Amino acid sequence: MSTSETEKIKCLIIGSGPAGYTAAIYAARANLNPVIYTGMQPGGQLTATTEIDNFPGYPDGVSGQQMMDDLQKQAERFHTDVRFGIIKSVNFGAYPFVALADDGNQMEAETVIIATGASAKYLGLPSEEKYKGLGVSACATCDGFFYRGKEVAVVGGGDTACEEASYLAGLCRKVYMIVRRNELRASKAMQKRVLTTPNIEILWETQTKEIIGEEKVNAVRLSTGTGDRILPVEGVFIAIGHHPNSEIFRKWLKTDETGYIQTVAGTSKTSIDGVFACGDVQDPSYRQAVTAAGSGCKAAIDAERYLLEKRQGQRI
């Protein structure tokens, strides 16, 4: 595409979800005329969540899809340009920054806000996909409330799995940890916590073969050294980690060993001035809709301040 055909944008937001849409709302209200590319899953991971009870402002709960629809409408109310597509590549080596979308549109952006999120890792079972949101979850903090007094399983043996199991133990009658090895990979402190919690039982050297249910999950089929067994549970929490959606940015930005984009503490600033990151793509710790939304607000304010300082510097 020739330079004359390149679209000029003040603020490009890559990715939707609570972080991206909140960034858009704030950027639009600051007259940054944001353009947002939603990504492959408009609204992000929350669109697969059947009911959300812990986001402020929804006293009766809300579906993830409805919440994302509401956020999108609010962003559009302030004239955000919402585009359903994917950013395929970026060039942060020159200014303005260059981005290429899957529709062939090339853009030059004065600021870029990355809100591409992180994807939960799953086991890859067909039955797992079938029961997502119907007893299969990758977030105990999000969905554990619905399993109060029930028996559930957590798949995994690392810190994430131990944290999920510990949280669920405070709500559920019984928590089974399904661990494929004969030891936990978690830190010593986390191991001690789960090993000393009375209602957590660890099933060593066990693998999940199938999730069983009718309308919802009611059991899992496990494989052990002595054969298969059926474990009755009403919820299965997959806790084998998350994958930050940062591949196209890693050439340009500092990330941790897993790929989470590193930001300056207390801000959304990345290792390149004018590029900001918010939401789960830079947050391996909390991964909540409300924290993602808060970080989206930060990113838009940081972008606004960056442009203001740049203009003031050019006038000096």
CATH number at residue 219: 3.50.50.60
The four Cα atoms 141, 19, 122, 150 give a dihedral, to 10 degrees, of: 20
Give yes or no: residues 232 and 254 share one domain: no
Q: What is the largest CA-CA distance in the chain?
A: 76
H-state helical runs in 30-124:
64-77
The residue out of 238, 271, 292 marking a domain boundary is: 238
Q: In what order do the strands lie in the sheet with 151-155?
A: 136-137, 235-238, 151-155, 174-178, 200-203
Distance of CA 265 to the CA centre of its chain: 19
240 burial (CB, 10 Å; 0-12 / 13-18 / 19+) is: middle
The residue out of 238, 255, 277 marking a domain boundary is: 238
Supply the range of the domain harboring residue 76: 3-119+242-315
Residues in the chain: 316
Q: Among 142, 162, 172, 278, which one carries the catalytic annotation?
A: 142
Q: What is the pLDDT of residue 286?
A: 86
Q: What is the pLDDT of residue 33?
A: 97
Give yes or no: residues 131 and 107 share one domain: no
Give yes or no: residues 166 and 212 share one domain: yes
Q: How confident is the model at residue 50 (pLDDT cuts 50, 70, 90)?
A: low
Q: Among 53, 81, 143, 280, which one carries the catalytic annotation?
A: 143
Give yes or no: residues 131 and 219 share one domain: yes
The pLDDT of 188-196, averaged and rounded, is: 92
Give yes or no: residues 105 and 200 share one domain: no
SS3 (DSSP) at 315: helix
Is 142 among the residues known to form the active site? yes
35 burial (CB, 10 Å; 0-12 / 13-18 / 19+) is: buried
Q: How confident is the model at residue 48 (pLDDT cuts 50, 70, 90)?
A: low
The pTM for the full model equals 0.79
The pLDDT of 272-300, averaged and rounded, is: 95
The pLDDT of 262-272, averaged and rounded, is: 97
Interval 91-141: pLDDT, tens: 999 999 999 999 999 999 999 999 999 988 899 999 998 998 899 998 888
Q: How confident is the model at residue 153 (pLDDT cuts 50, 70, 90)?
A: very high
Specify whether the CB–CB gap between 158 and 240 falls below 8 A: yes
Share of the chain above pLDDT 70, in %: 97
Give yes or no: residues 142 and 174 share one domain: yes
Higher pLDDT, 291 or 52: 291
Q: How far apart are CA 143 and CA 120, in angstroms?
A: 14
Q: What is the pLDDT of residue 316?
A: 46
Report the number of distinct structural domains present in the chain: 2
Give yes or no: residues 161 and 203 share one domain: yes
Interval 194-250: pLDDT, tens: 999 999 999 999 999 999 999 999 999 999 988 899 999 999 999 998 899 999 999
Backbone phi and psi for residue 85, each to the nearest 5 degrees, phi listed first? -175, -175
Q: At what angle do helices 17-29 and 64-77 cross, to 10 degrees?
A: 20
Give yes or no: residues 103 and 134 share one domain: no
Give yes or no: residues 99 and 136 share one domain: no
Tell me: pLDDT of 4 over 90: no
The pLDDT of 158-182, averaged and rounded, is: 94
The residue out of 177, 203, 238 marking a domain boundary is: 238
Give yes or no: residues 13 and 111 share one domain: yes
Q: What is the pLDDT of residue 2?
A: 43
Give yes or no: residues 80 and 154 share one domain: no
Is 143 among the residues known to form the active site? yes
Tell me: pLDDT of 171 over 90: yes
Q: Among 11, 139, 162, 172, which one carries the catalytic annotation?
A: 139
Give yes or no: residues 220 and 274 share one domain: no
Mean pLDDT computed over every residue of the chain = 92
